[in-house]
A and B are shown apart, each in its own frame.
Chain A
Amino acid sequence: MGLSGLEIYKLLPKTNCKECGFPTCLAFAMQIAAKKVSLDKCPHVSEEAKKKLESASRPPINLVTIGSGDEKLEIGNETVMFRHEETFYHPAGIGFLVDDDMPQAEIDKKISSIEALRFERVGQRIEVNLIALNNKSRNKDNFLSALEKITEKSKLNLVLMSDSVETLKAAISVAKEKKPLLHGANKENLDPMVSLAKESSSALCISSSSLEDLSALAEKAASGGINDLVLDPGVKSLREMIESLTYIRRMALRKSYRPFGYPTIAFTRQSDPFEEAGEAASLIAKYAGIVILRNTETWQALAVLTCRQNIYTDPQKPLQVEPQIYEIGSVTGESPVLVTTNFSLTYYTVESEVEAGKVPSYIISVDSEGMSVLTAWAAEKFTAEKIASALKESGIENKVKHKEVIIPGYVSVMSGKLQEESGWSVKVGPREASGIPAFLKGMKK
């Protein structure tokens, strides 16, 4: 939360000494507020003022990076409690747990099944981000050999889980490049863990099932010089988990409460894939920065990853599909041609209904700047001219032998104009996509 120029001015010496290069302290303050100059330019500013300004210029929830390179995971830096207020910015990391007490072959199998959890849907890749290696054996060598397997077989980001400082120290010396998240610190081992995280410049997780303790630990870790903290509100029931995650986010955003100004990590508790997916979906919706699961069933992960994709879709920038021809089913030169907008929800709704109708068809998505049919029509982004030019430019004329286009029922008024503009005969389709299957079947008769 930035301070205004006037608020900054109050923290300055107000001597107008000009040593900063500006004529007055107020002018300097204005420039700081606009983020055009740094406070360092003032040689006389007090330590207290520095501290205040620093904390005011930090985001209410720190951004924490785990891993490096293209697959690195950035979490935190969220600004709202509810998607509609803005958006949720940094999609929750989804990770899977590997216990180091499993036989080697099982660990191998687990890694491959985790690696397989990558899908493509609505034109986006949705995939797993992390492996959380758990030192369940409490044995250092087990942990290190499992870690070796993982780094050999997978490029996924890492959460290294052990409460032994020594084990994590050994692990980090091997896996430093991967910039893992250390999990981590608790009431008993905070100081040495903080030192380890500092030495290895790793992000550090702190755990406590009491929010009070969690905030005290976070404060201590921060004063030890660590900014890359991740909060783990511990093992508790899903309801308590939702509550904890909500309070952490709310206190950080609404109270600028520093000890909670970090992203969170949450672990599922249930072993059944359904129950676990239900937990994971809830944790994603309710503010977890990372969710770690156990089951690696594809049908479970697909649902969980899709849930994250939905929750983290920016409501201000609707998803769009490429404006082009889409072929649904085994189309021929006789197949019907439908037009709709390029708003992805609209397009995919139409697509799934066309599929359901089982009549192979072409759908042309017209560039309507990601608006739905009625909105686009009202905003003149889905007009007779636009559709006519899409018909021309898409190349559909080379694909079908007929010249009949089906338009959404809601824009039936444009029929005459479109016919005129395009030379295609216009058939008015149903208003709602749900009417498409019956409509297409009716055409066949």
Chain B
Amino acid sequence: MALELLKERWSNAVNTVTIGATKEEGGTRTSIVKAGGETCLPFMLNEGGMPHKPVLAMEIFDIAPQDWPDILKEPFKDVYEDPAKWAKRCVDEHKAELLCLRLQGTHSDFGNRSADETAKVVKSVLDAVGVPLIILGTGDEEKDNIVLAKTSEVAKGERCLLGDATEKNYKTLTASCLADGHNIIGESPIDINIAKQVNILISDMGLGSERIVINPTIGALGYGMEYAYSIMERARLAALNGDKMLSMPFICFIGQEAWRAKEAKGPESEHREWGPESKRGPMWEFITAVSMLQAGADILIMRHPKALEETRKYINNLLGA
């Protein structure tokens, strides 16, 4: 008797978000990326499809990175004072298809740069590279609302992905995205109900659900990765079963989380039994990425070139180059 496998049939697809706009579309990007669109659980291709490979973005800052360990600074040490050069390095050398610019310098702890000054930085990055941009504030609500509004204007028509909107602070950013044609990141604290709520709030303001990305706020490998893993699995199952307000792709800040772990950055001199951090750090970031990919991650924000390269290889291995 032939073995009949129990195959899932899902009724809904994850939304596809398009980031970046070319000249024809009113922007200046030379390439765009699409994320999401899955009609199956991660990599279960005989039950559906993953029309767009998970997208790998590299993270850059508007100021020199403050808390990065040497191993992470090394590949960028000659460029990170200049965001435009840093951006170019990521694209030219590390083949990043998407960049994530964090406006750290606007925070009062890190120079309190004004919205106008910041706008110039954003412009310089847009001019330096042709790939689409994700642009993030610092989480300081008041300042973000001023800075991101201005940033949004400067990047009008480029169809960036701006973030993060939260349950308490989404209106200003949503309005900017509506006015200037951007996508938005809705952030929730490892909580599926709040994730959905944020998506509803943003949609209610008139921003289409295909322009929203969920940031489930992940934890690094060893530091709560499993909470995000399960929240993402739950949300993805809900999406595939038809919940439109959870059908957005996930964005995961892999590098940011992984490099906070002491297993990633702790020097070998202090942790002999762990082996060299030159390998261990990128490995930590890579396995954090792998875990999140298995939970359904769509956009992964990476930091170390080696982790990026390995994650790319991993995805190509699963989905074909």
Chain B CB within 10 A, most for which of A246, A355, A356: A246
Q: Assess whether B230 is in contact with A255, with CB atoms less than 8 Å apart.
A: no
Distance (Å) between the CB of A244 and the closest chain B CB?
10
Q: Is A83 an interface residue (CB 8 A)?
A: yes
Measured between beta carbons, the chain A residues less than 8 angstroms from B224 are 345, 349
Q: Is A234 an interface residue (CB 8 A)?
A: no
Measured between beta carbons, the chain B residues less than 8 angstroms from A116 are 273
Q: Assess whether B237 is in contact with A82, with CB atoms less than 8 Å apart.
A: yes
Q: Assess whether A306 is in contact with B310, with CB atoms less than 8 Å apart.
A: no
Q: Assess whether B6 is in contact with A302, with CB atoms less than 8 Å apart.
A: no
Q: Assess whether A282 is in contact with B294, with CB atoms less than 8 Å apart.
A: yes
Measured between beta carbons, the chain B residues less than 8 angstroms from A84 are 230-231, 233-234
Q: Assess whether B223 is in contact with A281, with CB atoms less than 8 Å apart.
A: no
Measured between beta carbons, the chain B residues less than 8 angstroms from A175 are none
Q: Assess whether A355 is in contact with B233, with CB atoms less than 8 Å apart.
A: no
Q: Is A42 an interface residue (CB 8 A)?
A: no
Q: Is A380 an interface residue (CB 8 A)?
A: no
Measured between beta carbons, the chain B residues less than 8 angstroms from A281 are 287, 290-291, 294
Q: Is B219 an interface residue (CB 8 A)?
A: yes
Measured between beta carbons, the chain A residues less than 8 angstroms from B274 are 119, 298-299, 302
Measured between beta carbons, the chain A residues less than 8 angstroms from B263 are 121, 302-303, 306
Who on chain B is nearest to A246 by CB? B44
Q: Assess whether B3 is in contact with A274, with CB atoms less than 8 Å apart.
A: no
Measured between beta carbons, the chain B residues less than 8 angstroms from A13 are none
Measured between beta carbons, the chain A residues less than 8 angstroms from B310 are 274-275, 278
Q: Is B60 an interface residue (CB 8 A)?
A: no
Q: Encode contact with B along A280-312: 1 for CB under 8 Å, 0 otherwise.
A: 011001100000000001111011101101110
A247 to B313, CA, bound (A): 25
Q: Is A254 an interface residue (CB 8 A)?
A: yes
Among the stretches A178-186, A235-243, A383-391, the one at the interface with B is A235-243
Measured between beta carbons, the chain B residues less than 8 angstroms from A227 are none
Q: A121-B263, A212-B3, A274-B286 are in contact. Are A239 and B318 (CB under 8 A)?
A: yes
Measured between beta carbons, the chain B residues less than 8 angstroms from A353 are 260
Q: Is A142 an interface residue (CB 8 A)?
A: no
Distance (Å) between the CB of A363 and the closest chain B CB?
15
Q: Assess whether B233 is in contact with A83, with CB atoms less than 8 Å apart.
A: yes
Measured between beta carbons, the chain B residues less than 8 angstroms from A237 are 317
Measured between beta carbons, the chain A residues less than 8 angstroms from B291 are 281, 285, 307, 310-311
Q: Is A20 an interface residue (CB 8 A)?
A: no
Q: Assess whether B6 is in contact with A255, with CB atoms less than 8 Å apart.
A: yes
Q: Is A122 an interface residue (CB 8 A)?
A: yes
Q: Is B275 an interface residue (CB 8 A)?
A: yes
Who on chain A is nearest to B282 by CB? A274
Distance (Å) between the CB of A430 and the closest chain B CB?
11
A315 to B233, CA, bound (A): 13
Q: Is B10 an interface residue (CB 8 A)?
A: no
Q: Assess whether B318 is in contact with A121, with CB atoms less than 8 Å apart.
A: no
Q: A278-B314, A311-B226 are in contact. Are A239 and B290 (CB under 8 A)?
A: no
Measured between beta carbons, the chain B residues less than 8 angstroms from A195 are none
Q: Encode contact with B along A244-261: 1 for CB under 8 Å, 0 otherwise.
A: 001100110011000000
Q: Assess whether A311 is in contact with B223, with CB atoms less than 8 Å apart.
A: no
Q: Is A215 an interface residue (CB 8 A)?
A: yes
A244 to B45, CA, bound (A): 12
A278 to B275, CA, bound (A): 18
Who on chain B is nearest to A215 by CB? B3
Q: Is B261 an interface residue (CB 8 A)?
A: yes
Q: Is B321 an interface residue (CB 8 A)?
A: no
The one of A242, A307, A352 that contacts B221, using a Cβ cutoff of 8 Å: A307
Q: A278-B290, A281-B291 are in contact. Are A83 and B226 (CB under 8 A)?
A: yes
Measured between beta carbons, the chain B residues less than 8 angstroms from A309 are 222
Q: Assess whether B280 is in contact with A302, with CB atoms less than 8 Å apart.
A: yes
Who on chain B is nearest to A441 by CB? B109
Chain A CB within 10 A, most for which of B139, B223, B310: B223
Distance (Å) between the CB of A198 and the closest chain B CB?
26
The one of A122, A238, A297 that contacts B279, using a Cβ cutoff of 8 Å: A297
A82 to B226, CA, bound (A): 11
Q: Is B67 an interface residue (CB 8 A)?
A: yes
Distance (Å) between the CB of A233 and the closest chain B CB?
12
Chain A CB within 10 A, most for which of B2, B262, B282, B287: B287
Who on chain A is nearest to B314 by CB? A278
Q: Assess whether A239 is in contact with B226, with CB atoms less than 8 Å apart.
A: no
Q: Assess whether B67 is in contact with A243, with CB atoms less than 8 Å apart.
A: no
Q: Encode contact with A along B214-243: 1 for CB under 8 Å, 0 otherwise.
A: 000001011111110111011001000000
Q: Assess whether B261 is in contact with A352, with CB atoms less than 8 Å apart.
A: yes
Q: Assess whether A315 is in contact with B230, with CB atoms less than 8 Å apart.
A: yes
Q: Is B46 an interface residue (CB 8 A)?
A: yes
Additional pairs, 17, CB under 8 Å, beyond known A84-B233, A297-B275, A298-B274: A82-B233, A121-B263, A212-B3, A247-B6, A250-B6, A275-B313, A277-B290, A278-B286, A278-B287, A282-B294, A285-B294, A303-B283, A306-B221, A345-B219, A349-B224, A352-B261, A352-B262
Would you list 19 pairs from A and B whose C-beta atoms are within 8 A, ordered by A residue?
A: A82-B234, A119-B273, A239-B319, A247-B5, A275-B317, A278-B287, A278-B310, A297-B279, A298-B274, A299-B276, A302-B280, A310-B229, A310-B291, A311-B229, A345-B219, A348-B223, A352-B261, A356-B67, A434-B139
Q: Closest 7 A-B residue pairs measured CB to CB?
A: A299-B275, A299-B280, A298-B275, A310-B226, A84-B230, A303-B287, A345-B224
**What residues make up the interface of A, taking CB atoms closer than 8 Å to B?**
82-84, 116, 119, 121-122, 211-212, 215, 237-239, 242-243, 246-247, 250-251, 254-255, 273-275, 277-278, 281-282, 285-286, 297-300, 302-304, 306-307, 309-311, 313, 315, 345, 348-349, 352-353, 355-356, 432, 434, 437-438
